[in-house]
Copies of this chain bind each other. A is one copy, B any other.
Amino acid sequence: MKIGLGQINAVVGDLAGNVSRMVDCYNRAVEADVDLLIFPELATCGYPPEDLLSKKEFVEDNRASVEKLAADCPETRIIAGFPESYKGSLYNSAAVLEAGKIKEVYRKRLLAHYSVSDERKYFKAGSKPVLIEVGGLKIALTICYDILEIARLKEFLKEVGPFEVLVNISASAFHLGKTEARKKSIINCVKEFNSTVAYCNLVGGQDELVFDGRSILADSSGKIAATAAAFREDLLIADIISTEDGVKVKPVDSAREEPSGPVDEVYQALVLGVRDYVRKNGFEKVLLGLSGGIDSSVSVCIAAAGLGARKVIGITMPSRFNSSETIADANQLAENLGIEFLTIPIDDILEASDNSLAVFEGWDKESIAFENLQARIRGNILMSLSNSMGGLVLTSGNKSESAVGYATLYGDTAGGFSPLKDVPKTLVYKLAEHINAKSGSQLIPESVIRRAPSAELSFNQKDTDSLPDYSLLDRILQGYVEENKSAKELIAEGIDAEVVRKVIRMVDANEYKRRQSPPGVKITPRALGRDRRLPITNRYY
């Protein structure tokens, strides 16, 4: 039996487009004599559709889409995810399509409800296992989370008896360490059921999530037999053969190239996340402020990699506080990338603003307010250019800054998308090295990487004037934000108590800034934002 995993890049809400993507895939699958073609979870509508699910018409349109898919693709068996209204409740379902019709439906049993997933808000859990037969093989159906608790899955599937293939359709978003967890679940299934596993994952960026694809075919021997491409669409085809030694997977194509390591994974996730946000939202170009600092340098390289240099415009907005070195670095980087580059000095606007604000007697040129003013003038310039040319502004803030509020609201946080939003500062440096290594040149000037970080909003300013060293800061943030550790636990690990408390206090106090920040790609197990929902008004610390 020939199986195909149709790892498509669905766009949320684009029902017709998603069906057409699946039909394209089907045509290639038919040419390759595929008997069973599998698409991801909620493939008709993309993932996560959120409150679109509360629209009755949307749910009806999804059924119509899956019926159209069936009608357009009569020549193979197909499994595809769709949201389904059934007996007055909504389910996260997998349709089995055969000969132009919906032949059977499996409804997800274990709903994902953690982190960014709110499935229990929308769906009812299914309760009936589904077994189908294709090419003489028995095939059990599951959806994403269903395979997570192996003991409960075994209990659930008991009534269908033995099977040769466990299908799992999924929409599993990328974060560091996710693939290992995923593979482990799949190997658990293989061992438990002595079957193959055909795991078909979604690919593509959707707001803050990037689905990484990497669909998997696992052998009953306990090995991953084939993996689809990472961070791009793919159709993975293999023969599934039942032998006396168990069920074997024989891939038809050669193996896909895998990311070279965690930093490359993050890099590819960011490139795809930016590309898809820009493309799916219909922007023709992006613009970024280039300061000659590490964050904007890495951000612009990611944008250029995702969109091509011709779609990226760099703007440098120097004031008297910017050194000639950083200005030169911004210029050099733009030249290295071959992007359009504009210089708009802010001194005249700063002076006019300063004069006008002097009406207020508390106004002080040596204050943080005066620093923030500069960042907001820059934000205003970028947004004015964005409104003029229809381009999307990318912001350059990283996770470490965002966590402690080391950013100016409506200043450097102003923009539509934030590539480094979930990237700790120490990882930004690793990305810079990775980008240069990948390009085989000093794409990002060495001085950008070596210089001590500074916001350049006053003379001789350094980030370390206000913050602990980034390696220490990131260690505390990883503990507090990602691992949900308490101050007590972090201090017990040997970190200075005063620094721990200061950092935690900064994180807690700056929730209001993060609430108004643009979306950006999640790459860690726990991003700031929807992934970590804290009240703004909060006296617990």
Contact = CB atoms under 8 A, between A and B. Distances in A.
A349 interface: yes
Nearest to A281: B537
A372 B384 contact: yes
Contact of A369 (B384, B518, B533): B384
Interface string A369-383: 110110011011101
Contacts of A156: none
A343 B362 CA distance: 15
A158 interface: no
A280 interface: yes
A91 to B, nearest CB: 17
A380 B379 CA distance: 10
Contact of A56 (B277, B348, B486): B486
Contacts of A539: 11-14, 17, 280
Interface residues of A, number: 88
A414 interface: yes
Interface stretch (A43-51, A292-300, A440-448): A43-51
Contacts of A381: 353, 356-357
Contacts of A452: none
From A51, A363, A380, residue with most partner B Cβ within 10 Å: A380
A17 B276 CA distance: 47
B383 A376 contact: yes
Contact of A13 (B281, B370, B380, B538): B538
A181 interface: no
B356 A383 contact: no
Contacts of A17: 539
A368 interface: yes
Nearest to A516: B516
Contact of A536 (B281, B351, B389, B409): B281
Interface string A242-262: 000000000000000000000
A151 interface: no
A335 interface: no
A161 interface: no
Contacts of A364: 388
Contacts of A356: 344-346, 348-349, 381
A87 to B, nearest CB: 19
Contacts of A388: 357, 360, 362-364, 367, 369
Contact of A207 (B357, B385, B389, B535): B535
B345 A362 contact: no
A540 B387 contact: no
Contact of A118 (B118, B349, B384, B416): B118
Interface string A103-118: 0000000000110001
A120 interface: yes
Given A45-B540, A348-B355, 9 more contacts: A13-B535, A13-B538, A15-B540, A280-B539, A344-B357, A360-B389, A372-B384, A376-B384, A409-B414
6 contacts: A50-B535, A344-B360, A348-B356, A367-B387, A376-B380, A380-B380
